[in-house]
Chain A
Amino acid sequence: MGSIIEMDNVSKVFRVLNRHPGFKGTVSDLFSRDYKNIEAVSHISMAIEEGEMVGYLGPNGAGKSTTIKMMTGILEPTDGRILVNGRVPYENRTQNAQNIGVVFGQRTQLWWSLPVIESFRILKEMYSIPDSVYKNNMAMFDQLVGVSELYNKPVRQMSLGQRTLCDILASFLHDPRVVFLDEPTIGLDVSMKSKIRDLISVLNREKNTTVVLTTHDMGDVEALCKRIMIVDHGKLIYDDSIQQLKQFFGSYRTLKILMPGDAQITDEKMEKYRNDLLAQCPDSQNVVFGTDEEWLTILVPEDQVPLMNILSGMQTILPIKDMRIEEISTESVIRKIYEGDERIPQPVERTGAAAGEAAGG
């Protein structure tokens, strides 16, 4: 069976006016022909299978929303080809819309001044949802999040969390095959976030709905997605399982050592520790020494040498007052990818390529 979403070498270039500062600049901008091209998305290819839940990550302005907007048919790609449900989204906007659900975390599709149940009724007509499907879904929603007590509350009186909950339910109401969630948990508190994650995860499982989720929140991705894609400066820099990324970085841990006294840790001292350690423990040639304020930090690739060996080695070299072991968090992984850490396999050609390179790392 073919993929439900296919993007083939898709690019999107925006032509924007080069604006000038100040009053004079603003006036001259009125007549300016000085345009510049900004490539928001650059040669992205991907394939998403039916029923998958994919996390789409990236810093602000990386091109996440632009990609989502192209998939939903709002934007037309400058170059390349997109197929969603086998259709070109921007050419068959109306038919495409029938099969997708969309939540933009910053906006609402609900009717602001009406009780929320009216929005659901309107959506029922808008998508020509059969009575039985509508009834079943509403019953399921109520069972999942107890939404029926909100039915008569006007949307404008709802809390952000309640509104987001209803917005997500609304996007699943017509049994779409793909749902796009653009930063659905933005601005929510911890308990509401977890409620919304549970909801999304159940809806994905029960209905086998494909979900594409963009977010800044690593918690969302870790809780929901098996596969993540990371985009930066319009380029896809990572596309693989979240396990793969964690495994790769999970193999690194940082040993931090505090020595008694307040002697400065100089480069010469570190070089000496390094040589002493190498003498005791020959596998430690890829260990990286550094400092973090008064702490001595040692980055250990655990697939080459167990951290315990390094620790027992260091014990004989210097006096230890205190020590810590730190995992590399997924957040800092992403940050490292953003910053272009050369230890990370990039750019990724295809799923699987990353695994090979990482092992060779």
Chain B
Amino acid sequence: MDNSSGRLLFNNAGRLPFRRYLSLTRGGILESLTYRTGLFLNLLGNLVYMIVMFFLWRAIYASSPSTIVNGMTFRDTLVYLTMAGAIFSTLEVYLVWKMGRDIQSGQISLYFTKPMDFFLREFFYVSGNVVIQLFLTLVPTLLIVCIFTGWSIPLGWNLLFFTASLFLALLLNFSIDFIVGTLCLYTQSFWGINMVKEVIILLLSGATVPIAFFPDTFRTVVLYLPFQAIYNVPLQILVSHTYTWADYARGLGVQLFWVVVLVAAGRLFFRQSSKIITVNGG
């Protein structure tokens, strides 16, 4: 068995042109656009979430003696959380749901008869929805935040690094979903484990509460976990006025490290687990 991590990461991808996979992105985009109502409801949901966040955090800041809590002003916090919500909408691809359903229905065995690597197949398929959300949620939200906060977000190189960081965050979030989705092969149900995953990621990544607000020890632990690389890193790159080149490099480096680890882990785990299908029936 050739289990080198290089082969795990680029298995088949080197041999097969990526063009094959891009057609899935296109299909995913078309599919997302078919469900227009869903897209608009999603926007509405985000708006409601923002309003709740606004009043919640206004109350928190009102109860504090100073206008700066944990180094963040009310405006900083609001910008951070609004952008976190937009990133969540972009990165949430419901892969666990999809894999869970495909496993329960046995549809997954059909994918094994296609000349494609399963990991890449799923990635390119969900990427269609990411592209749509990127242009319908993330970019508009970014513009709205800029306009309403008087251009509080720095506009410069950070936008370029943010884009790269967002792509790595997508890979990270996807890999975690892929691992959890693979777990469905053992559990045959996905609702419960998906909830657990969701809560863990949203809390530990700094998506619902900025990591600056965490107690010291907890924060130290969280910074060593992969979850903060999904939300905290790209958000800091985006909103920070004080980041140096070294900070950008460190942020992206940490993300890259976790991407390599989790992609390899996900692929290895799936390859081992798919024996449940190939050995014990689909």
Residues of A within 8 A of B (CB): 14-16, 40, 66, 69, 72-76, 90, 93-95, 97-98, 100, 102, 104, 107, 109, 111, 113-114, 118, 121-122, 124-128, 154
| CA of A16 to CA of B276, assembled, Å | 11
Q: B281 to A126, Cβ gap below 8 A?
A: no
Cβ B110 vs Cβ A104 within 8 A: yes
Which residue of chain B is the closest to A124 with respect to CB atoms? Answer: B23
Task: Report the bound CA distance from A75 to B276 in whole Å.
Answer: 10
Chain B 100-133 interface mask (CB, 8 Å, partner A; 1/0): 0000011101101111110000000000000000
Out of B16, B22, B112, B115, name the residue touching A74 (CB < 8 Å): B112
| Cβ of B97 to closest chain A Cβ, rounded Å | 15
Q: How close is B192's CB to chain A, nearest CB, in angstroms?
A: 15
B115 touching A126, Cβ below 8 Å: yes
Residue of A nearest to B22 (CB): A125
B277→A94 contact, CB < 8 A:
no
Residue of chain B at shortest CB distance from A115: B30
Known: A94-B12, A107-B106. 7 other contacts (CB 8 A): A75-B277, A75-B278, A94-B115, A98-B115, A114-B31, A118-B27, A126-B24
- Does the CB pair A114–B27 fall under 8 Å? yes
B23 touches A125 (CB 8 A): yes
Q: Is there contact, CB below 8 Å, between A97 and B22?
A: no
Chain B positions within 8 Å of A111 at CB level: 27, 31
A72 near B113 (CB under 8 angstroms)?
A: yes
Are B113 and A73 touching (Cβ within 8 A)? yes
Given contacts A69-B282, A94-B115, A113-B35, contact A122 B26 (CB under 8 A): yes
Number of interface residues of B (CB under 8 A): 32
Q: Is the CB of B31 within 8 A of A95?
A: no
Q: Are A74 and B34 in contact (CB under 8 A)?
A: no
Interface: B51 (CB within 8 A) = no
Tell me whether A109 and B110 are in contact (CB under 8 A).
yes
Q: Are A76 and B110 in contact (CB under 8 A)?
A: no
| Least CB distance, A357 to chain B, in whole angstroms | 35
The answer for the CA separation of A218 and B63 in the assembled complex, in Å, is 79
Interface check B279, CB cutoff 8 A: yes
Whole-angstrom CA separation of A15 from B279 in the bound complex? 9
| B267 → A minimal CB distance (Å) | 14
A-B interface, 6 closest residue pairs, ranked by CB to CB distance from nearest: A125-B23, A97-B115, A102-B113, A98-B115, A76-B278, A122-B23
Q: Are B280 and A15 in contact (CB under 8 A)?
A: yes
Residues of B within 8 A of A (CB): 12, 16-17, 19-20, 22-24, 26-27, 30-31, 34-35, 105-107, 109-110, 112-117, 275, 277-282
Residues of A within 8 A of B31 (CB): 111, 113-114
Closest to A40 in B: B281
Q: Known: A97-B113, A125-B22. Contact between A114 and B34, CB under 8 A?
A: yes
Residues of A within 8 A of B116 (CB): 94, 97, 126
Selected contact of A128 from candidates B20, B30, B112, CB within 8 Å:
B20
Q: Are B20 and A93 in contact (CB under 8 A)?
A: no
| Complexed CA–CA distance, A127 and B16 (Å) | 10
Q: With the chains together, A172 CA to B124 CA distance in Å?
A: 24
C-alpha gap A95/B11 in the complex (Å): 13
* Residues of A close to B106: CB separation below 8 A: 107
Do A94 and B19 touch (CB < 8 A)? no
Q: Which residue of A lies closest to B27 (CB)?
A: A122
Give the shortest distance, in Å, between A7 (CB) and chain B (any CB): 17
Report the nearest A residue to B112, measured CB to CB. A74
* With A75-B278, A114-B31, A122-B27 as contacts: A94 and B110 at CB distance below 8 Å: no
A/B interface sample: 7 pairs, CB < 8 A: A73-B112, A74-B113, A76-B278, A97-B114, A118-B30, A125-B20, A126-B115
- List chain A residues, Cβ under 8 A from B275: 76
CA distance in complex: A299, B275 (Å): 52
Q: CA–CA, A95 to B107, complex, Å?
A: 20
CB atoms of A126 and B23 under 8 A apart: yes
Cα distance A97–B95 in the bound complex, in angstroms: 24
Task: Report the bound CA distance from A72 to B23 in whole Å.
Answer: 23
A93 touches B27 (CB 8 A): no
Q: How far is the CB of A336 from chain B (nearest CB, A)?
A: 30
Instruction: Tell me, in angstroms, the Cα distance from A104 to B106 when the chains sit together.
Output: 11
B115 to A14, Cβ gap below 8 A? no
Residues of B within 8 A of A114 (CB): 27, 30-31, 34
A270 → chain B, closest Cβ, in Å?
50
